[in-house]
Structures are given as structure tokens and as C-alpha cells.
Structure 1
């Protein structure tokens, strides 16, 4: 998360017209690093859980406040926060191989990335609940048909299709792109910031209770042993 936040901060002040987020390899985002969480929560559960919740909040806030268009190229699976942040971005292009999953309840967490608000708004309450409560997996085509993804491209030409469109966007005026995004998103900013804060508070409350923290800790340990 720190690397992405750093990229957002750097791009906010440089002369770029937009930000392109992509991944190296066959996976866009694999979700939580279980071994890292086990290590951190083993030392001081309550202190570290608060720190992690606030790190997630600050990561999401960086997307909400970013003024330039954010383009995302999803080359493969996007799990957890990697899928939740997509509605905070402006254009999402996906490979046919991509799929999306946010199994928060399954991994003993409450929703993050403003997905408790954006998913019902975009996907509808029924599908959003299936994704957030049951961990339903969406294919690239399903995600596109429901508005989570802008377009889907064939894997063999995915990179070329993305770069062609990015170059077309980059030929536009930087001022026009930024002001256009402001017009589209300005009324949502305060709502998303409020949702982000509430999701952070909920995570803190969950982890501050021994039952909630023990449930997460037990699940993470089981996942480590499965690897």
C-alpha cells in the first residue's frame, strides 16, 4: 500500500496528465499478506490492528483525493482491496482473464475501500451483498456488464489496447481532464471520505473486541498453515 500511496503523491505534483495503475505478472492484486498480518498482530494485537486499519484508511483516502484521472489495467485476479478501490478510479480496463472477489466476511473483516457504499451503488444491493458477504467471484465480462469495469480486452492484445487508449487520453489537455474529473466526482468526495472513515472505525471496533480479533487471528493462522 505504501508504494501505491507514494506513486499517487508523486503523480499529484508532477507534469503527468493521468495515472496508470497496472501489475507485473499474472495477478493484479492477491489481497492481504497473511504472513505479514500474523507477524504484526502477534506482537501487539490492538496497537497493530489500529495501525493497519488507519493505513488502509489513508491508502483509500489517497485515491479519493487524487485530482487527475486514474486509469487501471487489470491483467488478472483482483482480490480484496484491489477490487474494492476500482470504483474510486476513473477508467478500468480488464483482460478477459481477470476476475474480481471481495470475500470480506469470509476472512473475518468488514468491507473496506468504500465498497460498503460504492458496490451497492454500482452493482445493486443484491450482487454487492453476495460479493461482500459471500465472496462471490465476478468474471471480467460480468464486472463489465454491471459497471465495475469499463471494457474487457482479449489477453493477447490487452497491453496494446490499454496503451493505445492511454496515449489518446494523454493527448488531451491536462486542465480539461482534471476539471472533467472534478465535475464528475466532486459531489461524491465528501460522501466517500465519510464512508472511508466509518469503515476504518468499524475495523477498529472489530479488532478491539477479543472475539473479533481472535476470529481474525485464528483465520489468518489457518491460512498460513494451508500454504
Structure 2
């Protein structure tokens, strides 16, 4: 199973389990996680959700081969499994905890902005290389990262797409705490257990109130980003980026205005 799903002591744990492909996410994996989160929303026995990867890597982001293979001819993403997963995550009323060790690439970093508590190992590395692929930010990352880190830092991370380490992610406010890699999972599990022990209605109400002011903006931004992303996905720059990736060469964007 590329996604391991388990329920124990009130916590639904979703684990990326495709280490041979650096936990690159396929459409089937997105659908599995979307279904699990939606089911957890209806399951009163589940009081918190925990998303984890492997000690050596969180996720390399989209499996690009699968991503392009499953792309609809229109370029629209609303029917794609990744969209269904992200909508399930953004709409979750129960608290979501994430534990990140190793690389969190692309959507691996984007999804963290929609979690409630994010803990990083001192080995964690984050990146959002959308511009490097001829694309734009996704799932409200353009506005959320700006709110979290401020415009100058968000612009640096989203425009250049370069990786940054756990300590900088902490300074930016992207993660809640940085821990030694050996302590990460146990700590995140302990924080999820604390949430389970608290009144579920209080946690839901607190989350609802904290996110209420940004919900409309997030929804509007996702719509705008999706429109641009879908159009850019079939544009010459993205085609060059993906072709270069599969040919294992550096892309050449100099021919495009």
C-alpha cells in the first residue's frame, strides 16, 4: 500500500509509504487520502488526523509521470484526485497534525499550510519549485505563505523555488517546532493524543474561528490559482520543463518571452 491508513486511540494516521519513489504521490494515493479524511469527518471515534512520511523523506511531491498521464485533456483540475484530497484537507473540521522529516517538495509543502500543527525534524527540507516547472503556486499557497512569512520571504520561496531548511521554516512560521529526527514521530503522536483528550467540540470551534477570516480568501485564491495552473500546464514553458525533467537535462526557457 502506497498510503498506510490506521486508526488508533482516536487518531487517524495517514503515512506516505512509497520510499522507492521518494514518496512521490500518484492520483490513486491522493484519492486514498481524500476518502480517508472524508470518512474520518463522519467518524466520531476519530478526533485528530496525523499525516507522516518516512524518516528519510516526507514526499517528493507529485509523481510527474503519473501526473501528466492522468491530466485531463482540458487541463482542468477540479476532477483530479489531488483536488479532492486538498479540498478534504482544507475542509477538515478536525485538527490535522503533520510530521515532516526529509524533503517536502511542491504539494508536500503546500499541504502543510492547511494543517493545524506542523512539526519538522532537523533533517527537513522544504521547496515549492512551481516556477521552475513553468507553473504557478497551487491551493492558496500564494496567499497563505505570504500571510505566514511576509511578502519578501514568500516571494523568494515561490519565485525562485529554491529549497530551505527546517530552522528557516520555523523562523518563517511555516512549522510549529523543530525536533531531532529521532524524536519527531513520537512527539507528533503525543501532540495528536493531547488533542484527542480535549473536548472535541472546543477543538472544532477553535479551528473554525481561527480559519473563518481566511476561508473566503483561500477559496477565491484556489479558484484563481487553478485557472492559471491549468492554462500553464499545457503552455510551452511547462512542456519544456517536463520534457527536460524526463530527459534529465536542464530546461531552456530563453526561447520564451
Residue 64 (structure 2) aligns with = 34
| TM-score normalised per structure 1 | 0.88
Unaligned ranges ≥5, structure 1: none
Pairwise CA distance, 1:116 = 0.8
Residue 72 (structure 1) aligns with = 98
How does 1:88-167 map onto structure 2 within 5 Å? Answer: 88-167=114-193
Unaligned ranges ≥5, structure 2: 1-29, 250-257
Pairwise CA distance, 1:179 = 1.0
Residue 2 (structure 1) aligns with = 31
Q: From the superposition, tell whether residues 87 and 198 of structure 1 become closer, same or farther in structure 2 (CA, over 3 Å).
A: same
Pairwise CA distance, 1:52 = 7.2
Residue 51 (structure 2) aligns with = 21
Matched, 1:199 2:229: no
Select the residue among 85, 93, 97 that pairs with 1:59: 85
Q: From the superposition, tell whether residues 160 and 25 of structure 1 become closer, same or farther in structure 2 (CA, over 3 Å).
A: closer
| SS in structure 1 of the partner of residue 118 of structure 2 | strand
For the 8 Å contact 2:137–2:158, the answer to whether it is kept is yes
Task: Select the structure with the greater relative contact order (CA < 8 A; seq sep ≥ 6).
Answer: 1
Q: From the superposition, tell whether residues 224 and 129 of structure 1 become closer, same or farther in structure 2 (CA, over 3 Å).
A: same
Distance 2:191 2:104 in 1: 21
Residue 197 (structure 2) aligns with = 171
For the 8 Å contact 1:64–1:193, the answer to whether it is kept is no
For the 8 Å contact 1:57–1:197, the answer to whether it is kept is no
Distance 2:218 2:192 in 1: 26
Pairwise CA distance, 1:55 = 4.5
Distance 1:150 1:168 in 2: 15
Q: From the superposition, tell whether residues 51 and 164 of structure 1 become closer, same or farther in structure 2 (CA, over 3 Å).
A: closer
Q: From the superposition, tell whether residues 222 and 179 of structure 1 become closer, same or farther in structure 2 (CA, over 3 Å).
A: same
Richer in strand (by share): 2
For the 8 Å contact 1:91–1:149, the answer to whether it is kept is yes
Q: From the superposition, tell whether residues 136 and 202 of structure 1 become closer, same or farther in structure 2 (CA, over 3 Å).
A: same
Distance 1:160 1:51 in 2: 36
For the 8 Å contact 2:77–2:226, the answer to whether it is kept is no
Pairwise CA distance, 1:223 = 1.1
For the 8 Å contact 1:93–1:151, the answer to whether it is kept is yes
Distance 1:135 1:21 in 2: 24
Residue 184 (structure 1) aligns with = 210
